[in-house]
């Protein structure tokens, strides 16, 4: 590994160094291109894994069983491949009572007034007869965003501690943001969106969104200047927002937004890539751009995968560590706060194709490499699944 802004490596004393981790294999067969993992927040032990081609699969942690029949299969209405597919799944905070969950997919052009390649965010419902089966005919269209190119679709969905739905949108694609979508707030591309799916039809704009009432700016925008936020998460303890934003050709970055933020941050793309000047185009440099808290250069690495701050109970020595990784090198890093800076250390030298991290209901963190799902554990402390 090349050295990349890993200050702890340079310190003579590693007393506070990141604890060693080990990956415990959880699912080693039966999945096809898993690119997301979440839970329903309903007290069950189930993990919900979205496969790129359009299926949501259920893994029952208590019995160690991957169900053969998908929870949902919408491969009929989406396109898949490259950076397209079923990109995100999230369950409503009150899923146990209302049975709602939300998906983000690349349209084939047959649903939700979408054209081919467009981003569709829609709601589905669990079936009334079987908690492990959703109703494929229950789709309610929430938001359709035109996509000029097949890449940079973002795709993550998450409910914030405020109960609003956050949607990570990439800059639309191609390379170098040719339409300047990252710095153009009249488009939803290149932004983090925040909408209220509990009021309005199909949604409403939270009154506290930062650009409400401003001419020429879409009120859904919570933060902007993003290139391709491939996985973001809320710290379940603090409510802070962590965004992995994929770089162009030189720098990968992690953006941080404190829970106390009122929104409106400009994360810089395509004026800046990481902390570095990318473009002198009109409007650059924009005032008050927010630099990432972590960046690393390309080399063996090429594409960041944002992760989670560990808040589980199984591994007390991992508490508070922010885990993230790189798709190309497969390396997992852990970031810890020290003296006001996020210090990054290599936690695991993995294989190729680190597509996503995920979190279960208890705050345990998982990672997908290729078709395999593993749990992040403290070194030498692997528990059986029946631990739950």
List residues near Ca ion by CB under 5 A: 147, 149, 152-153, 172-173, 267-268
Q: Residue 251 or 348: which CB sits closer to Ca ion?
A: 251
CA angle, 26 as apex, 23 and 28 as ends, to 5°?
100
Q: Residue 85 or 172: which CB sits closer to Ca ion?
A: 172
Q: Residue 36 or 190: which CB sits closer to Ca ion?
A: 190
Q: Residue 140 or 286: which CB sits closer to Ca ion?
A: 286
Which single residue brings its beta carbon nearest to Ca ion?
173
Q: How far apart are CB 245 and Ca ion at their closest, in Å? A: 6
Q: Residue 159 or 267: which CB sits closer to Ca ion?
A: 267
Q: Measured between alpha carbons, how far is 379 from 143 in angstroms, rounded to an integer?
A: 43
CA angle, 361 as apex, 138 and 167 as ends, to 5°?
55
Q: How far apart are CB 98 and Ca ion at their closest, in Å? A: 31
Q: How far apart are CB 309 and Ca ion at their closest, in Å? A: 20
Q: Residue 242 or 348: which CB sits closer to Ca ion?
A: 242
Q: How far apart are CB 163 and Ca ion at their closest, in Å? A: 27
Token pair in block for residue 91: 């369950």
Q: How far apart are CB 359 and Ca ion at their closest, in Å? A: 24
Token pair in block for residue 203: 């949604």
Q: How far apart are CB 232 and Ca ion at their closest, in Å? A: 13
Q: How far apart are CB 20 and Ca ion at their closest, in Å? A: 31
Q: How many CB atoms lie within 10 A of CB 219?
A: 19
- Strand pairing of 72-73 and 55-60? antiparallel
Token pair in block for residue 281: 């185009």
Query: Under a CB-based contact definition with an 8 Å cutoff, are residues 165 and 90 in contact?
Result: yes
Q: How many CB atoms lie within 10 A of CB 113?
A: 10
- Strand pairing of 332-338 and 322-326? antiparallel
Q: Residue 152 or 311: which CB sits closer to Ca ion?
A: 152
Q: Measured between alpha carbons, how far is 271 from 285 in angstroms, rounded to an integer?
A: 6
One DSSP character per residue, 212-277 reads: TT-TTS-TTEEEE--S-EEEEEE-TTT--EEEEE--SSSEEEEEEE-TT--S--B--TTTEETTEE
């Amino acid at each position: 590994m090349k050295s990349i802004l890993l200050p702890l490596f340079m310190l003579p004393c590693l007393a506070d160094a990141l604890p060693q981790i080990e990956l415990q294999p959880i699912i080693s067969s039966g999945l096809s291109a898993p690119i997301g993992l979440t839970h329903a927040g309903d007290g069950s032990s189930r993990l919900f894994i979205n496969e790129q081609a359009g299926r949501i699969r259920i893994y029952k942690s208590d019995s160690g069983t991957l169900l053969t029949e998908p929870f949902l299969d919408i491969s009929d209405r989406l396109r898949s491949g490259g950076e397209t597919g079923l990109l995100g799944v999230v369950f409503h905070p009150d899923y146990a009572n209302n049975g709602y969950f939300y998906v983000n997919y690349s349209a084939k052009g047959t649903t939700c007034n979408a054209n081919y390649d467009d981003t569709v965010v829609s709601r589905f419902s669990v079936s009334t007869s079987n908690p492990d089966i959703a109703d494929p005919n229950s789709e309610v269209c929430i938001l359709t965003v035109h996509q000029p190119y097949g890449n940079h679709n973002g795709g993550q969905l998450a409910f914030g501690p405020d109960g609003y739905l956050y949607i990570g949108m990439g800059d639309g694609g191609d390379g170098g943001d040719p339409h300047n979508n990252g710095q153009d707030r009249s488009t939803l591309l290149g932004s983090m969106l925040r909408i209220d799916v509990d009021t309005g039809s199909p949604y409403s704009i939270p009154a506290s969104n930062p650009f409400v009432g401003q001419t020429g700016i879409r009120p859904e925008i919570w933060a902007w200047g993003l290139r391709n936020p491939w996985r973001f998460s809320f710290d379940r303890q603090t409510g802070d927002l962590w965004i992995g934003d994929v770089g162009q050709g030189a720098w990968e970055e992690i953006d941080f937004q404190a829970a106390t933020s009122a929104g409106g941050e400009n994360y810089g793309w395509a004026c800046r890539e990481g902390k570095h000047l990318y473009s002198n185009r009109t409007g650059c440099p924009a005032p008050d751009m927010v630099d990432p808290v972590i960046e690393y250069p390309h080399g063996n690495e090429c594409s960041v995968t944002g992760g989670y701050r560990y808040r589980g109970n199984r591994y007390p020595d991992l508490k508070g560590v922010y885990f993230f990784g790189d798709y190309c090198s497969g390396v997992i890093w852990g970031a810890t706060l020290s003296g006001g800076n996020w210090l990054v250390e290599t936690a695991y030298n993995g294989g190729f194709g680190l597509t996503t991290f995920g979190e279960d209901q208890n705050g345990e963190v998982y990672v997908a490499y290729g078709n395999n799902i593993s749990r992040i554990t403290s070194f030498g402390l692997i528990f059986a699944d029946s631990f739950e």
